[in-house]
Amino acid sequence: MIHYSLSCDNGHAFEGWFSGSDDFDRQVESGFLTCPVCNSAKITKGLMAPQVSTARSKDERKAALVDKAQREAVEKLRQAVAEIRASSEDVGERFPEEARKIHYGEAKERGIIGAAKPDEVRDLLEEGIEIMPLPVLPEDKN
């Protein structure tokens, strides 16, 4: 498709889309193309600045979309982490002990957050205790 800036003999400017240059010529010759303002059939193409899509501009647009998607994803994660923290008890270094108590029915079931060393995490997982680390998110730069 080709986009043309058009004008009639009365000076009215408008735009049109055509399948090609010959499509424009055919429509003008047949009288099918007329000015939407005054209905004049004397139509000419105006000067146009073609829009050239370069690899760089495509890459920049893609990067902008990726950046936006990443910012939105980080914001959703930030909200989820905030909700988890707000609805959980922070048991700190006692996390492995409290997680076991909850898993084995020795303590009331509840959401907990805290800290665990890598070997403690491995042991909890091997026991079938479901745990998940909270992500550390980048700070806002705004």
Instruction: Quote the CA–CA distance of 33 and 30 in Å, as a whole number.
Output: 8
Instruction: Quote the CA–CA distance of 6 and 142 in Å, as a whole number.
Output: 45
Q: H/E element holding 14?
A: strand 13-18
Would you give the DSSP letter of residue 20?
A: S
* pLDDT, position 23: 87
Ranges of each domain in the chain: 2-45, 53-79, 88-131
Instruction: Quote the CA–CA distance of 54 and 44 in Å, as a whole number.
Output: 29
pTM, to two decimals: 0.51
Average pLDDT, 10 consecutive residues per value, the chain (142 residues)? 88 88 88 91 78 66 76 88 95 97 96 95 95 81 52
